[in-house]
């Protein structure tokens, strides 16, 4: 009887801990409440912000990932059945570690947000990884990680722990089928953490290359859609013309000819972007100063994305559909 009471109490404590972590991830806790002041920056502040970001990359995010992986193992039925009380205690200890880690991450996020680094994007040549060009997307990814990925994961842990009632359920496989759902959720969250860590490890040119590669990947899908349209429209046009009929150039056929003529330019653009994105980081294809501001860093990415937007596939489809509508 005492064991059952202890187990019930441990279950309650663990669920409360996960609920606390889930509420800790609320979006409002990630944003400073008062930013009504004139931002200033000093060398010491930059060094402090840099140390926070380095600590996040080398310690906080890897520790967070490890804790999440440990939870999957501790609460897996094959391991949990061996000693439910011991595993619940270990789980409760991990939730304490998570609270400490997430508190430090939130402190770093709020500190970087308060600094309003985007105000200094014209003159942040010496800011290193604390440049606005790097911190703005980082803050967005961390906010998504905390307010969505982790929040959903912790709530599911609560649901699964509350759903465990007895060893009989384990033998029947009821709880096991629920726990299997946590593995892909945890993997997705771990992948998101890895993505953030990698962004902190990349050089300025490495980040630009990553944006170019994303454009190339999307561009390939759009180009494939364009080729598919040209082939289909050609077969439709040919089948609709009788053998004895003189070929008459229609708006649709003129559009097809225009798109065919544009193919070499699309190919050249892809070759150019692919060359930029695959060039060794140690040998940039053009001069990038060792000290470059966020404004300057944003220019190559902006120009590239304006010519070949990340939604190239949907853009080409939309263009073709609109052109067909006008030509009918």
* Cβ count within 10 A of residue 124: 26
Q: How far is CA 219 from CA 8, 270, 282, 311, in A?
A: 55, 8, 26, 8
pLDDT (tens, 9 = 90+) of the chain, 328 residues, equals 557 777 888 888 999 999 899 887 876 544 455 555 566 788 899 999 999 999 999 999 999 999 999 998 888 877 777 788 888 999 999 999 999 999 999 999 999 999 888 888 888 888 888 998 899 999 999 999 999 999 999 998 888 888 776 545 555 555 555 555 567 888 999 999 999 999 999 888 788 788 777 777 777 777 777 777 777 766 555 555 455 455 556 666 777 777 778 788 778 877 877 777 777 766 666 656 667 788 877 775 545 554 444 444 455 555 555 554 544 4
What's the rounded Cα separation, in Å, for the pair 107 and 101? 10
DSSP 246: P
Tokens found for residue 282: 């140690």
pTM of the shown model: 0.74
Decide: 34 and 114 in contact? Cβ < 8 Å.
no
Rg of the chain in Å (alpha carbons)? 27
CA distances from 307 to 57, 266, 314 (A): 33, 11, 14
Residue 27: C-alpha distances to residues 30, 67, 150, 311 (Å): 5, 22, 12, 28
> Angle at the Cα of 258 (from 254 to 263), degrees rounded to 5?
150
Q: Which domains does the chain have, with CATH numbers?
A: 2-201 (1.20.1420), 208-238+248-327 (no CATH)
pLDDT of residue 29: 46
Asked if 100 and 60 count as a contact pair (C-beta separation under 8 A), the reply is no
């Amino acid at each position: 009887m005492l064991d059952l009471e202890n187990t019930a109490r441990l279950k309650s404590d663990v669920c409360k801990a996960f609920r606390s972590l889930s509420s800790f991830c609320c979006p409002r806790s990630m944003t400073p409440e008062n930013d009504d002041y004139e931002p200033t920056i000093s060398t010491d502040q930059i060094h402090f912000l840099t140390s926070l970001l380095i600590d996040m990359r080398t310690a906080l995010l890897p520790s967070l990932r490890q804790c999440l992986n440990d939870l999957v193992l501790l609460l897996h039925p094959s391991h949990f059945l061996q000693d439910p009380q011991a595993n619940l205690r270990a789980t409760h200890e991990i939730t304490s570690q998570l609270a400490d880690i997430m508190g430090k991450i939130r402190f770093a996020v709020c500190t970087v947000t308060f600094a309003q680094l985007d105000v200094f994007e014209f003159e942040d040549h010496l800011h290193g990884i604390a440049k606005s060009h790097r911190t703005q997307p980082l803050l967005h990814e961390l906010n998504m990680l905390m307010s969505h990925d982790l929040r959903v994961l912790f709530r599911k842990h609560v649901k699964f722990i509350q759903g465990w009632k007895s060893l009989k359920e384990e033998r029947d496989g009821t709880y096991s089928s629920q726990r299997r759902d946590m593995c892909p959720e945890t993997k997705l969250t771990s992948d998101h953490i890895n993505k953030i860590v990698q962004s902190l490890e990349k050089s300025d040119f490495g980040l630009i290359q990553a944006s170019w590669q994303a454009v190339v990947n999307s561009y390939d899908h759009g180009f494939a859609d364009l080729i598919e349209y040209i082939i289909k429209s050609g077969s439709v046009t040919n089948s609709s013309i009788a053998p004895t009929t003189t070929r008459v150039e229609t708006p649709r056929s003129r559009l097809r000819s225009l798109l065919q003529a544009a193919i070499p330019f699309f190919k050249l653009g892809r070759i150019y972007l692919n060359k930029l994105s695959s060039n060794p980081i140690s040998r940039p294809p053009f001069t990038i100063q060792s000290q470059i501001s966020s404004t300057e860093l944003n220019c190559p990415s902006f120009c590239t994305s304006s010519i070949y937007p990340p939604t190239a596939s949907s853009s080409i489809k939309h263009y073709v559909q609109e052109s067909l509508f006008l030509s009918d």
